[in-house]
Structure formats: C-alpha cells, structure tokens
C-alpha cells in the first residue's frame, strides 16, 4: 500500500491534463514519494481517458478509473477515494489551481494529527497568484455565509479543490457522502465536523485557472439546493451513522 494517493477528477480535460500529469509525476519522482496517482474519468467526450492510458503504460503509479457516465465532481472524487490504496488521500483539480508542491502542507497537517486537512484560499489571501473575478468572489462569500448559517461550518474556505484525508477518515466520510455535484465539499466537512474529526484549514498557494466551467449564478443556485439537501438529510436521520 502506498503512503499517498493523489486523486484527480477529470471531465473533458484532454487539453491540460497531459501537462498536469507530467508535473505531478515528476514531482512525486523527484521527492521519492511512495504514491499512486489516480485519474477518475467522468464520462469525458474528448481524449481524456486515452491520454491517461497512454501515460499509464510507462508510469506504473498512474491508473485510470472510469465513472458510469457523467456523474459530477462529487461522484468522481468519492469513486477515486473509495478505490485508492494510500494511507493519506488527497484530491486536487485537473488544472492544479493549487500546485502539487502545496500537497506537503496538507500531508504535514495529517501527520501532525489532523483527520482532514483542507486547502484554503482565504486564510492567507496574499498567497493567491491570480484571484477570481469580483463577481465570483461575491458569490463565494455568499455561499460561505449560507454554510455558516445552515450547517454551522466556520471555515474560511470550504470549496477549494485541494483536500487531504487520513485513510480511516476518508473511508468513513465518503461512504456516507450523498451529494454528487459541486456541493459535496460542504457535505464532507459537515459530516467530519459532526463526527468529531479533527479538521485543519491550511493556507495554500492558489491561482484562478483559465477555462473554469463553473457558472457563479447557475452553479451557485444548484450548490445552495445541495446545502439544503444536507440540512434535510441531517433532519431526517440520513446521517444516522455519525
């Protein structure tokens, strides 16, 4: 079993995934990490799976997991996490908005005793090399306020796509996860908080990537409905395993 698992959810990422895999694999090799790299293909219609298979032929630590069609980022991350073999499991975005070099910060937090370590863009905003537009920042702050009110989450940043989990914590949380869309981060943190797990928020370098597929208004509304679903799940006892 490797020490680290790095999971990358991917949907139509053929244009930039090659450079991402090269950067991650090189960094892993240079630092002698005992790691596996997992790409979860979310029903891509481009060459994403072919690109990963080609790289995997010469990189034994790389493997591809296929979703049953296009299911969403939350489903992709869960699928990767529940099929990973590492002792510490990290998921990161295919655009490496937070560079792989920042992973050591999250790993260190886990090794220091945290069960979950979450990258944060807003604990130390000066680490952002390219900020989001003012509109996206506005929607993001509004969503964060909704999480504080509806779920009691007091984190500066719940949506940064850069999070690490101790293996036992990952198995517990992702087996309870029900949200398959963008709101899955909030559900995981809610479940972790209610389970009494130690969550460490860690400031990381971050850059707003060109070509993001998130629509602040459309996806913001959808994420809010998912937060309400989390609240409803809690009220109706769907999270009784906590």
Closest by Cα among 75, 102, 107, 101 to 5: 107
Residue 50 falls inside a structural domain = yes
242 occurs within a structural domain = no
- Establish if 241 belongs to a structural domain: no
CA dist 117 and 104 (Å) reads 11
Domain count, the chain: 1
- pLDDT for residue 1: 87
The average confidence (pLDDT) of the chain is 93
CATH number of the domain bearing residue 68: 3.90.550.10
Question: Does the pLDDT value for residue 211 go beyond 80?
Answer: no
Q: What pTM value is reported for the model?
A: 0.92
Full DSSP string of 147-205: HHHHT----S-S--SEEEEEHHHHHHHHHH----STTHHHHHHHHHHHTT--EEEEE--
Q: Tell me whether residue 177 is in a domain.
A: yes
Mean pLDDT of 109-137: 87
Max CA distance (Å), the chain:
49
Binned at pLDDT 50, 70 and 90, residue 177 comes out as very high
Q: For residue 227, which of 176, 197, 190, 199 has the smallest C-alpha distance?
A: 190
Only one residue has tokens 């969403």, namely: 72
Residue from 8, 4, 67 nearest 36 by CA: 4
The β-bridge relationship of strands 35-41 and 4-10 is parallel
Residue 240 lies in a domain: no
Q: Is there a domain that residue 229 lies in?
A: yes
In Å, what is the CA distance from 188 to each residue of 28, 124, 207?
27, 23, 24
Backbone angles phi and psi of 116, in degrees to 5: -135, 135
Residue 73: per-residue pLDDT: 96
Predicted confidence at residue 215, as pLDDT, reads 67
Domain presence at residue 79: yes
How much is the pLDDT for 132? Answer: 63
Residues 52-71, mean pLDDT to the nearest whole number: 97
Residue 125, pLDDT score = 87
In a domain, 179, yes or no: yes
Does residue 116 carry a pLDDT above 70? yes
Q: Which structural domain, as residue segments, surrounds residue 77?
A: 4-235
With a pLDDT cut of 90, the percent of the chain lying above it is 81
Mean pLDDT of 137-144: 75
């Amino acid at each position: 079993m490797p020490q680290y698992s790095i999971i990358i959810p991917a949907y139509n990422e053929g244009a930039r995934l090659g450079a991402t895999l090269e950067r991650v694999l090189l960094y892993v090799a240079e630092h002698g990490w005992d790691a596996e790299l997992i790409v979860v293909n979310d029903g891509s219609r481009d060459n994403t799976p072919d690109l990963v298979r080609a790289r995997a032929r010469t990189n034994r630590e790389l493997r591809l997991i296929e979703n049953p069609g296009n299911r969403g980022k939350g489903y992709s991350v869960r699928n990767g996490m529940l099929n990973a073999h590492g002792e510490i499991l990290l998921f990161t975005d295919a655009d490496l908005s937070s560079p792989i070099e920042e992973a050591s910060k999250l790993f260190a937090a886990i090794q220091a005793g945290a069960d979950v370590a979450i990258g944060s863009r807003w604990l130390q905003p000066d680490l952002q090399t390219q900020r989001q537009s003012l509109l996206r920042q506005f929607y993001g702050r509004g969503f964060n306020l909704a999480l504080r009110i509806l779920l009691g989450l007091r984190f500066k940043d719940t949506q940064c796509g850069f999070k690490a989990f101790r293996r036992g914590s990952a198995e517990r949380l992702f087996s309870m996860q029900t949200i398959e869309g963008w709101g899955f981060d909030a559900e995981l943190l809610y479940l972790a908080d209610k389970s009494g797990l130690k969550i460490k928020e860690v400031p990381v370098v971050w850059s707003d990537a060109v070509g993001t597929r998130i629509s602040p208004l459309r996806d913001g509304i959808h994420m809010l409905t998912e937060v309400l679903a989390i609240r409803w799940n809690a009220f109706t006892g769907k999270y009784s395993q906590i």
